[in-house]
Chain A
Amino acid sequence: MASGRSDATTDADALLAQLRAFEGRPSGPPAEARDEVNQAMIRHWVDAMGDDNPVYVDEESARANGFPGVVAPPTMLQAWIMRGYLSQPDGAWKAQRDASGEASAQEQLFDALNAAGFTSVVATNCDQEYVRPIVLGDRLTVTSVIDSVSPEKHTGLGDGHFVTTRLEFTDQHGERVATMRFRILRFRPQSSRPKDVALRPRPAITHDIAFFFEGARNGTLLIQRCAQCGVLRHPPRPACASCGSFEWDTVTASGRGTVYSFVVVHHPQVAAFDYPLPIAVVELEEGTRLVGDLIGIDPADVEIGMPVVAEMVAVDDELTIPMFRPAVPVGAGRVGAVTGDA
């Protein structure tokens, strides 16, 4: 596993170097707004936002309030250069751009992030600074630069990279009217996290307990038995607590038992596990007790004394361990997996 982890680190370093190379590059060619700042689009915006400020729709009111004429809502800034439906995968603008064969730096950056599994996107920060009010008839052009790409960060949504873009808005005279910084997180959705990113901690398998994990790998739950007096014991150990004998063999447990005690772990969370995580001390019908994950049950439904059955679960390529399922369906129809296995 050590070598796997260092390979992953090297891959992350190589990716970061690749991503960092985009810093300072224009995201794409300057984009001119398709339309002048116009009343129809403003009305559409203020209607949806429920904004009844008269300076956005009424010339007289705008002048009375010190503006040269009807102004656009300042925070509408970005809407003027949005491509709308044309930016969709089947949109005309995309088709035209594809035909040109030129991928912009931003597209190349996002392709690299997609290829590395960071397929989801969420906006996290936006700063806008306005130089002057934008009025009817203005024609905006935007120039954008990839400002920075962060190293991989762990976030509540998943692991990902923050990408900050700086956009300069100019008017029909080439004068700057606004600046905007826009930060997004490109992340790997947690549900698609590759299984090998985080492995369960390895048990320390000694000579005395190797048989137990060997048995699990073969699909059996084994219990150590004293060869001298026949008393069963778990966890495995060299000598019998009853007679002191070092001679032992094993019996195969039926796998049936009851929940003797349990906890539901919420915190701290370790990457390889799903939470909330119910863990039980199970008393087997043979009399010994062992600890195992409870599966196929809502943690809220776990009860002391409930019957469970063992199931050998291969948690990864190297490790198989016993876990326990409710012996009878709980909340029938609610936990599909249990019903299906019963």
Chain B
Amino acid sequence: MSPVRAETLRFEEISVGDTLPELAIPLTRTLIVATAIASRDYQDVHHDPGLAVERGSPDIFMNILTTNGFVGRFVTDWAGPGALIESVSIRLGAPNYPGDTMTLTGTVTTTELPAQRHDGRGVVEVTLRGANSRGDHVTGTVRLSVPSDGAGTS
């Protein structure tokens, strides 16, 4: 488990092309059920193997709220506790089944110091993917803001 960074990255420390530390999530059956319940998702395909098979899936699989959760954690582990996630856009592919591992990787694709912002923060876009043995489970982008030295705070 990669712990969250203690000091939040400042905008000036981030460049396009920076890679985020990889985050590997072992997909235990307990994790898939525990995260579904933590997100209050009681759809049977996320906890009942028999019904999952009946609905055309080989096993139970991770729910989308949890994928969002790991995507959020992946980005704030890297950027630090003062980072503010502004938007998340994800597309789902290969399901996360028990016994597999999902590895999240990402790079910084844009950095921007919007002139119209007056909160002293710069905006960074991270493009990421979470892959398991079947292919890409998730691909997407996250926009987050971090404190900047340069932006006016007046």
Query: A-side interface residues toward B, CB under 8 Å?
Result: 41, 44-45, 47-55, 61, 65-66, 73-76, 78-79, 82-85, 87-88, 119-120, 122-130, 133, 157-158, 189-192
For A119, list chain B residues within 8 Å (CB): 55
Closest Cβ neighbor of A89 among chain B residues: B44
- A191 adjacent to B56 (CB under 8 Å): yes
Q: Tell me the dominant secondary structure on chain B's binding face.
A: mixed
Let me know if B4 is at the binding interface, CB within 8 A.
Answer: yes
- B92 adjacent to A79 (CB under 8 Å): no
Closest Cβ neighbor of A88 among chain B residues: B42
Question: Which of B77-85, B102-110, B123-131 participates in binding chain A?
Answer: B77-85
Q: How far is the CA of A178 from the CA of B7 in the complex (A)?
A: 27
A-B contact pairs, 30 of them (CB 8 A): A47-B38, A48-B31, A48-B38, A48-B69, A50-B1, A50-B25, A51-B76, A51-B77, A52-B1, A53-B4, A53-B76, A65-B82, A74-B72, A75-B65, A75-B72, A75-B85, A76-B65, A79-B38, A79-B40, A84-B42, A122-B95, A123-B64, A124-B91, A126-B67, A126-B88, A126-B90, A129-B87, A130-B86, A133-B84, A189-B56
Let me know if B29 is at the binding interface, CB within 8 A.
Answer: no
Known: A53-B81, A66-B82. A127 touches B87 (CB 8 A): yes
Let me know if B111 is at the binding interface, CB within 8 A.
Answer: no
Q: How far is the CA of A47 from the CA of B34 in the complex (A)?
A: 9
- B56 adjacent to A120 (CB under 8 Å): yes
Distance (whole angstroms) from the CB of B139 to the closest CB of chain A: 10
Told that A51-B69, A53-B81, A84-B42 touch, could you supply 6 new A-B pairs with CB distance under 8 A?
A49-B73, A66-B147, A75-B68, A76-B65, A79-B39, A122-B95
Distance (whole angstroms) from the CB of A159 to the closest CB of chain B: 12
- B71 adjacent to A75 (CB under 8 Å): yes
**Number of B residues whose C-beta is below 8 Å from A?**
42
Q: How far is the CA of A189 from the CA of B54 in the complex (A)?
A: 9
Q: How far is the CA of A306 from the CA of B31 in the complex (A)?
A: 48
- B65 adjacent to A79 (CB under 8 Å): yes
Q: How far is the CA of A120 from the CA of B56 in the complex (A)?
A: 8
Let me know if B3 is at the binding interface, CB within 8 A.
Answer: yes
- B39 adjacent to A82 (CB under 8 Å): yes
For A53, list chain B residues within 8 Å (CB): 4, 73, 76-77, 81
For A51, list chain B residues within 8 Å (CB): 4, 69, 72-73, 76-77
For A79, list chain B residues within 8 Å (CB): 38-40, 65
Known: A48-B31, A125-B92. A87 touches B42 (CB 8 A): yes
Closest Cβ neighbor of B88 among chain A residues: A128
Q: Which residue from B3, B90, B95 sits with its C-beta under 8 Å from A125? A: B90
- B76 adjacent to A76 (CB under 8 Å): no
Let me know if B19 is at the binding interface, CB within 8 A.
Answer: no
Known: A54-B4, A125-B92. A130 touches B73 (CB 8 A): no
- A124 adjacent to B73 (CB under 8 Å): no
- B42 adjacent to A45 (CB under 8 Å): no
Let me know if B89 is at the binding interface, CB within 8 A.
Answer: yes
Closest Cβ neighbor of B61 among chain A residues: A122
Let me know if B100 is at the binding interface, CB within 8 A.
Answer: no
Q: How far is the CA of A65 from the CA of B88 in the complex (A)?
A: 21
Q: Which residue from A48, A85, A125 sits with its C-beta under 8 Å from B42? A: A85
- A130 adjacent to B85 (CB under 8 Å): yes
Q: How far is the CA of A120 from the CA of B52 in the complex (A)?
A: 10
Let me know if B101 is at the binding interface, CB within 8 A.
Answer: no
Q: How far is the CA of A207 from the CA of B6 in the complex (A)?
A: 84
Distance (whole angstroms) from the CB of A275 to the closest CB of chain B: 17
- A45 adjacent to B64 (CB under 8 Å): no
